[in-house]
Amino acid sequence: MIAEIALFPTAASTTAAAVDRLLLFLVAVCGGVGLLVACLMIFFCVVYRRRPGETGNPPETHASHALEWFWTITPLAIFMVMFLWGAEVYLGAYRAPDNAMPIYVVGKQWMWKFQHPEGQREIDALHSLFIPDFRIHMDLLPERYTSVWFQATRPGIYRLFCSQYCGTNHAGMIGTVIALEPADYERWLRLGAEGSLALQGRKTFLKYLCASCHSADASARAPLLENLFDKPVYLSDGSVVTADENYLRESIIYPSAKIVAGYENIMPTFKGQISEEEIIEIIGFIKSLTPGAMPKRVEEYPPPTTTPPINTKD
């Protein structure tokens, strides 16, 4: 399969216009400065060249302090404009709004696996997520969750690529993003979903016997997980962290890294035992746990019949 990136991709997201304006500004400034420097070099080489018959050193010249201040302050001002403008575009592109719909992506060898909260799963082959029409790019970092967001402005089928060389099958690591109207997307969700991410996470939570310690029992040996996500967690060393995705993942893989105040370091590591997809499922389950949702004992878990409600941020 051959896939091409257009020289001027369609602007199909709310981020695209801001990225395009910044890119055009950078190209204009860099191109203008480069052209000015090249022209001045040619001019000086011609005008101040050594003529035939001239000997000795050229006469000493005295620099203008005003000129030195000008070529020092002016580039600094231009670079600060670039920095502040770029920072604004970056924060807008990588800080998702509170009502954004999360889609979890697991990077594997020459592929991504996409997991929708509602249960749909997709597999695409690529390695560094790049969607030109949305002006979106995000690499995966080992042992860490990263995030990027976009809002499509028009329905359609858009190409996604691997933006950097990543191995043998790099050239074949392409896929598509299909943007649907809300009604069409809801219809697609109803076709073949295996259950929400929270429901799958509940099954995984029970599979690894997490409820034997993380229960609502007064004598529980581990912290209660209800209403935990995105809340402050007080640690035994006196520090405070936020219970985000990276903290929850670290607590599963490296449980001794951050011990919650009032609890002992007794949780075993699940490194090498649990897959990345299962970690994402458990995180989805923890996000859904509202106050009172956690049973006091493992035996009190009813058979899974419905999808637990997703807890929203305050």
pLDDT band (50, 70, 90) for residue 305: very low
| Proportion of the chain above pLDDT 70, given as a percent | 84
Mean pLDDT of the chain: 82
pLDDT at residue 253, as a whole number: 93
Q: Residue 290 and residue 227: Cα distance in Å, rounded?
A: 5
Q: Which CATH superfamily is domain 197-300 in?
A: Cytochrome c-like domain (1.10.760.10)
Cβ proximity of 135 and 16 under 8 Å:
yes
Q: How confident is the model at residue 308, as a pLDDT?
A: 43
Residue 311 binned pLDDT confidence (cut-offs 50, 70, 90): very low
Q: Confidence class of residue 193 from pLDDT cuts 50, 70 and 90?
A: low
Amino acid identity, position 36:
L
Q: What is the DSSP letter of 235?
A: B
pLDDT (mean) for 194-201: 78
Q: How does residue 299 score in pLDDT terms, banded at 50, 70 and 90?
A: low
Per-residue pLDDT at 302: 53
The C-alpha angle with vertex 190 and arms to 188 and 194, in degrees rounded to 5, equals 110
Ranges 117-126, 156-165, 276-285, 297-306, most confident = 276-285
Tokens linked to 117: 């909260």
- Tell whether the model's pLDDT for residue 104 goes beyond 50: yes
Element spanning 26, H or E: helix 16-47
Select the more confidently predicted residue: 55 or 262: 262
pLDDT at 169: 75
Using an 8 Å Cβ cutoff, are 202 and 31 in contact?
no
Q: pLDDT value at position 256? A: 93
159-187 tens-digit pLDDT: 888 777 777 777 777 788 889 898 888 77
Q: Do 281 and 210 contact (CB within 8 A), yes or no?
A: no
Predicted local confidence at residue 34, as pLDDT:
94
Find the mean pLDDT for residues 200-204: 88
Position 306 scores a pLDDT of: 44
Helix, coil or strand: residue 126:
coil
Q: Residue 225: which residues within 8 A CB-CB, separation 6 or more?
A: 214, 286, 289, 294
Indicate the burial class of 38 (C-beta count within 10 angstroms; 0-12, 13-18, 19 or more): exposed
Domain ranges of the chain: 104-189, 197-300
Give residue-wise pLDDT tens across range 43-59.
Answer: 999 988 888 888 778 77
258 pLDDT tier (thresholds 50, 70, 90): very high
Q: Radius of gyration (Cα) for the chain, nearest Å?
A: 28
| pLDDT at residue 250, rounded to an integer | 94
Strand partners, 174: 161
| Residue with tokens 């049973």, as numbered in its chain | 295
Looking at the predicted structure, is the pLDDT value of residue 310 above 60? no
Type of residue at 55:
T
> What is the side-by-side strand order in the sheet with 156-162?
136-138, 129-131, 156-162, 174-179
Q: How many CB atoms neighbour CB 286 within 10 A?
A: 25
Over the stretch 130-145, which tens digit does the pLDDT of each residue have?
A: 889 998 888 777 677 8
What's the CATH number of domain 104-189, 3.20.20.140, 2.60.40.420, 1.10.357.10, 3.40.50.2300?
Answer: 2.60.40.420
Query: What residues does 131 pair with on adjacent strands?
Result: 136
